[in-house]
Structure 1
Amino acid sequence: MNAQSVISIPHSSPKQTPIIYKIIVVFAMMTVMGGSLIGLMTYINLGYSDTFFRDWFVSFLIAAVTVMPAGFILMAFLTHTIEKWLPNTSEKKRNIIVGLLMAITMESAMALSTAINNIGLSSQAALFSHWLDALLAALPLGLTLMVITSLTIKPKIERFLKS
């Protein structure tokens, strides 16, 4: 029997972050970013009324179960694709590109889901008009949020979700 077989040093593996914490972080980001954008879009579509918060909440729930999950998948795909296409570009620049593409895509999809919920599908002209108005009103906020998120929060969130 040699000394190595007698002395066994346990390997300590890094502790995994519980999945519930990851879900809470993702949900919080969805709520703050999506909630504020959809609130603005709902206001642009309908103005402020007695039913504003109910209208906002329903629009938010629709986007939360359709647009936002698709957005997380799209962000992972875009991040991977941009890394592959621009391997010699700094991570900061790649994150800005992903942020801009995500802002435009997500704003368009959230504006559409909000307009469908608030206006309905009976008139394509009214739907298009409300979609465009909401998109143009929310795009500056969305671009600002996505660029800030891409540069500051996204790298930390990615590390956290991988842990």
Structure 2
Amino acid sequence: MSKMLQKIAIIACLVMVMGGTLTFVMTWRNLGFGEGFMMAWLSSFALCVLCIAPIGGVISYLVHHLVDGALPNISKLKQDLVFGLIMALIMESIMAIVTTLNVHGLLALEAFIKQWSATLLTALPMGIVFSIVMSLVIKRRLAAFWAKV
């Protein structure tokens, strides 16, 4: 397998595990485990991947530079924690928008905000854990792995 394919495969696995889990929780929050759950979850997951995959790297790059620029005098560990928290909030917010729109369609603004915020708050704790583990553990290991590949 080529080096580029290895990198793509690793990122794809991370996106599938994290995105699949988070959209599963978000879809469950919106519908419960009734009829139609599986199709709603799969379509929400696919839509989130299509939305997040292209912009996730750009958002990560921008947030990283924002944190580095705004907090240059704190330790790398604290910078990584702040980075993880900001990334979780941004990415879960986008996923909650996509999932809410997918499951409920266009709602009146007040109803949409209510559904979106409930969706976001349900998945955010898990998203924070994923994001912190990603920024503190996985990101460093991937950087070391990619330096060898």
Q: State the TM-score, normalizing by the size of structure 1.
A: 0.82
Residue number among 117, 129, 140 corresponding to 2:102 in the alignment: 117
Query: In structure 2, how many angstroms separate the alpha carbons of the residues matched to 1:107 and 1:45?
Result: 15
Are residues 1:158 and 2:143 paired? yes
CA contact (8 A) 1:119 1:126 kept: no
1:132-147 correspondence runs (5 A): 132-147=117-132
1:33-44 correspondence runs (5 A): 33-44=18-29
Residue number among 73, 86, 97 corresponding to 1:101 in the alignment: 86
Where does the alignment leave 5 or more consecutive residues of structure 1 unmatched?
A: 1-16
The letter for the 1-side match of 2:89 is I
* CA displacement 1:78-126 (0-9 Å, x = unmatched): 1133223333322211111110000011111100000000000143232
The letter for the 2-side match of 1:41 is M
Shift of 1:161: 4.2
Identity %: 34
Instruction: Find the counterpart in structure 1 of residue 47 from structure 2.
Output: 62
Query: In structure 1, how many angstroms separate the alpha carbons of the residues matched to 2:143 and 2:51?
Result: 22
- State the structure with more CA Rg: 1
Are residues 1:21 and 2:12 paired? no
The letter for the 1-side match of 2:51 is T
* Worse overlay, 84-93 or 18-27: 84-93
The CA RMSD measured in Å over matched residues stands at: 1.7
Instruction: Find the counterpart in structure 1 of residue 73 from structure 2.
Output: 88
Are residues 1:76 and 2:61 paired? yes
**Which structure is higher in helix share?**
2
* CA displacement 1:55-88 (0-9 Å, x = unmatched): 1110011110112331221112211332233333
Where does the alignment leave 5 or more consecutive residues of structure 2 unmatched?
A: none
Query: In structure 1, how many angstroms separate the alpha carbons of the residues matched to 2:48 and 2:108?
Result: 21
* Worse overlay, 60-69 or 94-103: 60-69
Runs of 4+ in 1 over 4 A off after TM superposition: none
Instruction: Find the counterpart in structure 2 of residue 8 from structure 1.
Output: none
Are residues 1:30 and 2:2 paired? no
* Worse overlay, 43-52 or 67-76: 67-76
